[in-house]
Amino acid sequence: MDLIDQVRQGIKDASRYITDRVEADLDIGIILGSGLGAVVDAVEDAAVFPYSEMPHFPKSTVEGHKGNLVIGELGGKRVGIMQGRFHYYEGYTATGIVFPVRLLKALGAKVLIVTCAAGGLRADFRPGDIMAITDHINFLGTNPLVGSNDEELGPRFVDMAEAYNRELLGVARQQALAIGVDLQEGVYIAVLGPSYETPAEIKLFTTYADAVGMSTVPEVIAARHMGMRVLGLAVITNTPGAEQVISHDEVLVAAQRSSEKLSRLIINIVGQSTVE
């Protein structure tokens, strides 16, 4: 079987595994980053599928990532939430990393809300801030669409002029205002990791971006490939600087501290989004 057939079969088997057990009919797919799991507690009639029990799912290896697909009702919409994601630095292939997005789309999701922890690059950012991603820079050195293209999923060449949907960004702004969240906005630059940035890299990135992280961009590219509308929300967990040492534990603690706030924002956004 060539790779296109393998991926098709993988998506088919995994979506059948879900639809044999629950009515999926998703409106919105959500991917949660490190320490950002709180929104799952608000899902009604939740069906929880551990990645380890689903066919063809890669295994999540990073601490702070749970590894469940949660399907249910949130803000009056059908949602599928990926609690835990896959990163290039863990050694997965491109098809593995974007498999959760492909599955969410196969289960009906037209909108993708993607969240992540990120390092802030702006002097006015504080740990705990939420930044709506207005655009991104792919500095991963790779792209999840490299290799044969499956025309059934999307086109060979994908336009990225409006990777992050303006309408959804507008809803995020409105809802942040409504619940008193001071929403930052900016450009996210994705690096391969797992090493954090050197001071020289931070200096370079600060010229072009507002936050830096090791995820999100692959999923957004795959979502745009399939014509999904995307909203990206980054939680600023640290502000990297020459004198500061970053640790994964620090990132997790800061993310968990903002998880409730992010959760409230997501619930409101989901409730107010159009999903036609």
Which residues are known catalytic residues? 34, 65, 87, 89-90, 117, 214-215, 238, 248
Longest dimension (CA), the chain: 53
Alpha-helical (H) ranges within the chain are: 3-19, 94-106, 166-178, 199-208, 217-225, 248-272
Please tell me the count of residues contacting ligand HPA according to CB under 6 A.
13
The residue among 61 and 272 lying less far from ligand HPA, judged by its C-beta, is 61
Distance between CA atoms of residues 179 and 185, nearest Å: 17
The residue among 17 and 89 lying less far from ligand HPA, judged by its C-beta, is 89
Which window, 49-57, 115-123, 124-132, 221-229, contacts ligand HPA (CB under 6 A)? 115-123
* Residue choice 40, 118, 168, 181 for contact with ligand HPA (CB under 6 A): 118
- CB-based burial label for 206 (10 Å; 0-12, 13-18, 19+): middle
Q: At closest approach, how far in Å is the CB of 181 from ligand HPA?
A: 19
Nearest residue to ligand HPA, by Cβ distance, number only? 119
Which window, 47-55, 104-112, 145-153, 211-219, contacts ligand HPA (CB under 6 A)? 211-219
The binding track of 244-263 with respect to ligand HPA, each residue x by CB under 6 A or -, is: --x----x------------
* Residue choice 238, 256, 268, 273 for contact with ligand HPA (CB under 6 A): 238
DSSP 142-187: --TT-SS--TTT--SS---TTSS-HHHHHHHHHHHHHTT--EEEEE
The residue among 214 and 217 lying less far from ligand HPA, judged by its C-beta, is 214
* Residue choice 84, 144, 213, 232 for contact with ligand HPA (CB under 6 A): 213
Distance between CA atoms of residues 101 and 111, nearest Å: 10
The residue among 117 and 233 lying less far from ligand HPA, judged by its C-beta, is 117
196 binds ligand HPA (CB under 6 A): yes
Whether 179 contacts 120, CB under 8 Å: no
* Residue choice 36, 117, 130, 187 for contact with ligand HPA (CB under 6 A): 117
Distance between CA atoms of residues 92 and 81, nearest Å: 20
Residues that bind ligand HPA (CB under 6 A): 117-119, 196-197, 212-214, 237-238, 240, 246, 251
